[in-house]
A and B are shown apart, each in its own frame.
Chain A
């Protein structure tokens, strides 16, 4: 069973929420679910959509065609005509019948008197979306009780949940009785051990930061990273986490640096524009060796670009941001599970090496929901590196003491017998400003000596992961969220007896050279990336000399579809 449902309507019609509720019901039935929104940067009047891809097998991405179109307005009925599958159905209200009738040869028309039901039940007009998702569930003969539990748990006020559940039941019954016999796809809950959670990349990053012991979060709103701020502002206070929305991204990152200097794990998040403002302070973190974590959710640029659409175009920018040369971690998780665990890892690495660590995601991963097994938090390790608290036992504390690894013991203010002098200027071991040439060499070499140890550490952390046929002649490469469509493409190709490999880069800095050489040498390489220029190809060549043979690129703000990858592989193999 594999089903793809799109719910569409005007901005303000509760499209995302109803889509989420229906998807959550499927997650509770043990299905593998991917939910993606598509919306313009406005509050009312535009077209919003929420797409659900669900399967009884493990899936990782959206599907670009739809088995059910849930139309909360007339526009939705016609908008997806070219993306209907063979046995598709369209759920609509009688007021939009004239639009639907034109498509009677393309889809099963499921007419549900949504507005009338809402009136009869004395509910608000916006609640027609609950009738609609009820109808979608009824059409597939899904278990209503599971849908009901999802509805009840998704509204804070129980009485509002009850009304919506009742509305959903009305839609469910009509679709089940009058239409389900004519619709081929049936969705049933699975018997499965263990709970699933359904969350976005943003939420997973926020949870990872909380689990890592972050106590201070400062961020300025910027799509698509704002939901991290919302999540932490809502839940943080219960866990002793201070969440602040300051006057700018510049203030945000400088606050994070201040908190980290004082000994607290701290993070900020933003998108490309905000990160542009943060670049100077990123260098401050590097020069003062203050461990910070910055999460960046990319969107389409340059400049304001398309704020609510996806891209991977900030890779080179993030790798090189800020003047001067310094080592940094850039980590690009590929799904929600990696968002959680890799964020925890980022905090540990930042403190262990006293360098900035950047989590690089994009709108597609940041705002898409994915089902995953509930995170195992029993084995989380917190490694604060060479942190000194309480009392410094040595003779005379030097914040930038030159050591074999380049990492200096890090006292924090209030440590007895230690005065902690941090400096953005080049400085001596004590932290006093100095432009002495010999000292400059000594300190720059100290900071860069860390790189060797950072690479050694990274190599133990699966910085790049290989999927698919180990012997495949053709290996796809990609980073971050590209994992989602590629893994689904691999499944499709496998079902056609075409075997390819996939090397997923999670670490971009340091670059996992050993892994790249091990899996890519003497193979044909195909890059899959949401950019115009194919940035990973340049990076790969720079670090390994290997060249990419083929590219699957997309730069219209939409994520790459699994089918797009499959087609390119076909083309190449032929």
Chain B
């Protein structure tokens, strides 16, 4: 069984002290340990931004890809070898700006992967510009007179995309986040977690979210009702819910693909006999 220490790497961590990414990384490691996953059977796919370095800091397979393209890369890794646990990590820029177009499709296909969005509501690595989740009115380097667009609602969005597991976590609540990631990994299908992640340098929201977040699980929330989940998704004020808003079992993408072989693609023999097909062309 792998230990937390064995999941460390030699790479020097360059996140700011107090960065919300630390909690997400720790929660992920704890989930891997507690679920007793083998590091060689886990793949982490990360996008561009501060979160993108996460792969360097965890001793599992990783692929640091280009901006916004975590979902197609992660989806295909899972299709190629469904015995792997595939976890996509994206920033709010990755997930909700440049790469938003992939979300509805990964969700409606119900690809059996986990998608964790490190939502710090700012572009940290490019030194603090507006993102699609930055609150209206906030002054950022690219909106010096205040943000003049409404932010999107990631939970409502994921629900509308028919994701089969929709959750929100908070980087200030490590135990709860670990629980969410474990449930997401166990979920057979597309598991979406939006993580409220303070950026200590450009948008420190620890205090704000500590005062407002509460766990859905503590209030006996029933995550099987989609309409109620939608209503819940719009609760954003003095009280901000975290937890599993909605989950449902559906066939996964692989279940639906015609002719998917009886074993992972990666184990298939490359040699095939084309004689019959060539004869069709005579």
Contact = CB atoms under 8 A, between A and B. Distances in A.
Bind each other: yes
Interface of A: 27-28, 195-199, 203, 207, 210-213, 215-216, 218, 235-242, 244, 246-248, 250-252, 254-259, 261-266, 280-281, 283-284, 288, 374-375, 377, 380, 382, 384, 412-425, 430-433
Given A251-B101, A262-B84, A424-B48, 13 more contacts: A241-B259, A242-B259, A242-B260, A251-B71, A254-B66, A255-B75, A255-B79, A258-B74, A262-B76, A374-B282, A415-B40, A416-B40, A417-B40
14 contacts: A210-B274, A213-B269, A215-B270, A242-B257, A244-B257, A254-B65, A254-B76, A258-B74, A258-B77, A281-B66, A374-B278, A377-B275, A422-B64, A431-B62
Given A28-B282, A236-B259, A422-B63, A259 B272 contact: no
A413 B259 contact: no
Contacts of B60: 419
B64 A425 contact: yes
Contacts of A197: 278, 281-282
The 10 closest A-B pairs by CB, nearest first: A237-B259, A213-B270, A258-B76, A262-B80, A254-B72, A258-B73, A255-B76, A413-B61, A240-B261, A197-B281
Contacts of A384: 270
B69 interface: yes
B56 interface: yes
Given A281-B69, A412-B266, A414-B84, A256 B282 contact: no
Q: Chain B interface mostly helix, strand, loop or mixed?
A: mixed
Q: Chain A interface mostly helix, strand, loop or mixed?
A: mixed
B229 interface: no
A218 B79 CA distance: 12
B135 interface: no
Given A258-B63, A262-B266, A432-B56, A413 B76 contact: no
Contacts of A195: 279, 282
A205 B80 CA distance: 22
B281 A198 contact: yes
Contacts, number: 198
Contacts of A419: 39-40, 59-61
B56 A433 contact: yes
A413 B271 contact: no
Contacts of A236: 259
A264 B64 CA distance: 19
B150 interface: no
Contact of B81 (A207, A213, A262): A262
A262 B53 CA distance: 20
B102 interface: yes
B227 to A, nearest CB: 27
Contacts of B259: 236-242
A215 B274 contact: no
Interface string B243-282: 0000000000000011111000110111111110111011
Contacts of A258: 45, 63, 72-77, 80
Interface of B: 9-11, 39-41, 43, 45, 48, 52-53, 55-56, 59-66, 69, 71-77, 79-81, 83-84, 101-102, 104-105, 257-261, 265-266, 268-275, 277-279, 281-282
A198 B76 contact: no
Contact of A218 (B76, B77, B271, B272): B76
Contact of B277 (A207, A246, A248): A207
A255 B272 contact: no
Contacts of A259: 76-77, 79-80, 265
B271 A382 contact: yes
Given A414-B83, A421-B55, A213 B72 contact: no
